[in-house]
Every structure is written in C-alpha cells, then in structure tokens.
Amino acid sequence: MISIVVSVFNEEDMLREFMESIEKTISFHSLDAEIIFVNDGSNDNSIHILKELQNKMPNLVRIIDFSRNFGHEAAMIAGIDFSKGDMIICMDSDLQHPPSLIPLMVDKFNEGYHIVSMIREKREDNSWIKNKFSNYFYRLINKLSEFKLEENASDFFLISAQVATILRENFRERNRFLRGFIQIVGFKKTTLNYVAPKRNAGESKYSFFKLLTLSANAIIAFTKLPLFLGIYIGGIFALFSVVIGLFTLEEYIFGNTPPSGYTTIVLFLSLSFSVLFILVGIIGTYVGYIFDENKARPIYIIKEVQ
C-alpha cells in the first residue's frame, strides 16, 4: 500500500483539482493507496474542502488537522508518523509535484529502492533569481558539509516504511531538512527528474525570506563549519597584525617615521568588529537551535484526526 502525504496550507483553490488528478492516477494504475492530508493551520476554506473530499471518498482520504501553522516540514513529519503504507510519498497539493509521476516512483520502489528523490530540473513559474539561489544553495551546502546532497532535490520524494520508521524514531530535531535527511540515512536510493509546472491558482507560500531561513536551517543541520570561521578569520587577522607590527618595528629601528595610518586603523577596526559581530551572530544562532532542542517542545500539535 502507498501512503501519500500531502501538506496543505491555504490551498482552497487547488484542492479539488489536485484530488481529481491524483484519484485518476490511482484508479488508472490500480494502486492501493491512502491519502493523508495534513492541514497546516490553514486560515481559508481548506479544511472544509478536505472534509468534503473525505465524505465523498472515506476509504481513501484521511485528515490531520493542526492546531495552528507549524510549517511545511512539520506537516510532512506528521504525515509520515501516521502513515501505514509499505511506501510513503510526500508531495504538495499545488500540482507542482505532478501526481502522474507517482507510478514511476512506485516502479522504482518495486525495483528495490528505499528512497526515490525527485530532482526538479526547473520550475516554470520561478524567477531567474530563485532558480540561481537554489543552485548556489546546494553547491554551498555540499562544500560545507561532509554529506553530498543531490542538487535541486525537492520535497517530492518516496521512502520505504523502513526509512519512515527511522525518521519517526531518530530524526526528531526541531531544526529539520527532510529532503536532506532522507539522503543521509543510507539504503539503496535513486533519483527521477521532473519539471514543476506553473500553478493554476494561488501563490507560493515560500517567500524569498522563508527560503533564506530554510537554507540557514539546512546548513546548521548538516555542518558545524561556520563555527570554525572565527578560528580561520582570527588566524588571518593575527597574521596581518604580525606583518603590520614587524613593518612598524623595522621603520622605528631604521629611524624612519611610520606613515600616518588613521584611515587604515579606522577601516581595520571597523572590519574587525564587523567580522566579530557576524561570528557572534553565527554562534548565537547555533546556541538558539540548541536551546530549542533542549526545550523539547512538540514538533506539531494535532487538533483533530479524521
């Protein structure tokens, strides 16, 4: 059986069309499936539409309704927690993760793969800046981290029940990056490429600022290298200070007057303090995440399961 986990946040304009598309795919390929919709604190009419769909297809549709918005990653975790299938597919409800690709993902599972990552070749409604940002992000994290992630991997993926159990029991961080987690647990994995079509309605819930936040979360989850920047930069500044000191001493010994350096000193101090505060900020960010983990608050809170 396939458990299809669908994150929903203010998608009232897309839900019926999404359900029609995914039902056609399931019926045409005679797939045994359950669809778990996770309503992530929507403040539009999404929950009422989901209940309407469940009334029409009670054997197919399940609903997890959060008490408030906990974020896309938390919604996927909740869906995985409640899944009963031999394989779990996570996808969005905006049809930018095409349901027509589900049979291909299932075929890969039947070939013995535990993880199928969907690699987005391009997103037709993305700006040039967002596409470039995505490319640079994966290059950066692969440079910083000991783990090498598939570039342009998306939140559209398939995992086996065995991998899902590992995520339920061992990957419970508050700072999450699921598309990365599934690539570092091991097991036999493969990829499929796809093109994300334009949205027919609604708008993306990921602003550029949210993408920056997600990127920061991913970097912190996968590498400690930023914490060592202070050592590296401190070493460079120390070397620079030694060179300046030797130059000044040489000028003094040979009776020369050291050149006036007011501007140099001011710029040097400004640069030094800028770097210092950036490093303090990086350390503070890591400490903040440690604080969140120690508080051990729930990843999500469920109001109702249907």
Angle value at C-alpha 211, between 218 and 209, nearest 5 degrees: 125
pLDDT band at 123 (very low <50, low <70, confident <90, very high): low
203 has a pLDDT exceeding 70: no
pLDDT tens, residue by residue, 187-202: 888 888 888 777 665 5
Q: What CATH architecture is 2-203?
A: Alpha-Beta Complex (3.90)
258 pLDDT band, cuts 50/70/90, is low
The tokens for 221 are 């989850």
| pLDDT exceeds 60 at position 244 | yes
Alpha-carbon distance of 136 to 65, in angstroms, equals 35
- Two tokens, residue 3: 């458990």
Sole residue written with tokens 């990653």: 73
How do residues 65-94 score in pLDDT, each as one tens digit?
999 988 888 899 999 999 999 999 999 888
The closest alpha carbon to 81, from 142, 179, 172, belongs to 172
Alpha helices in the chain (DSSP H): 15-28, 46-56, 72-81, 102-110, 128-144, 161-170, 178-184, 208-222, 229-253, 262-295
Instruction: Please state which of the ranges 31-35, 185-189, 221-225, 301-305 shows the lowest mean pLDDT.
Output: 221-225
- Given a cut of 80, whether residue 165 has pLDDT beyond it is yes
Cβ(102)–Cβ(85) under 8 Å? Answer: no
- Residues pairing with 151 in the sheet: none
Confidence of residue 131 (pLDDT cuts 50, 70, 90): low
Query: Which range among 55-64, 127-136, 157-166, 295-304 shows the weakest confidence by mean pLDDT?
Result: 127-136
pLDDT exceeds cutoff 60 at 300: yes
Query: Distance of alpha carbon 114 from its chain centroid, rounded?
Result: 20
Report which DSSP code applies to 151. Answer: T
Determine the pLDDT at residue 35.
94
CA distance 182 to 158: 9
17 Cβ partners below 8 Å, 6+ apart? 95, 200, 201
Residue 65: the pLDDT is 92
Per-residue pLDDT, 83: 92
Average pLDDT of span 2-26:
90
Instruction: Tell me the helices (H) and strands (E) count for the chain, helix number first.
Output: 10, 8
pLDDT at site 182: 84
63: phi then psi, degrees, rounded to nearest 5: -130, 130
Helix, strand, coil shares, percent, the chain, to 5: 50, 20, 30
Supply the pLDDT for residue 223. 72
| Model confidence band, residue 127 (pLDDT cutoffs 50, 70, 90) | low
More confident of the two residues 15 and 173: 15
- Locate 209 and state its tokens: 């600022």
Q: Answer for the pair 116, 106: CB distance below 8 angstroms, yes or no.
A: no
In this structure, are strands 115-123 and 87-92 parallel, antiparallel, or unpaired?
Answer: unpaired
Question: Mean pLDDT, the chain, as a whole number?
Answer: 80
**If pLDDT is split at 50, 70 and 90, which confidence band does 247 have?**
confident
Which residue is it, tokens 């997600």?
214
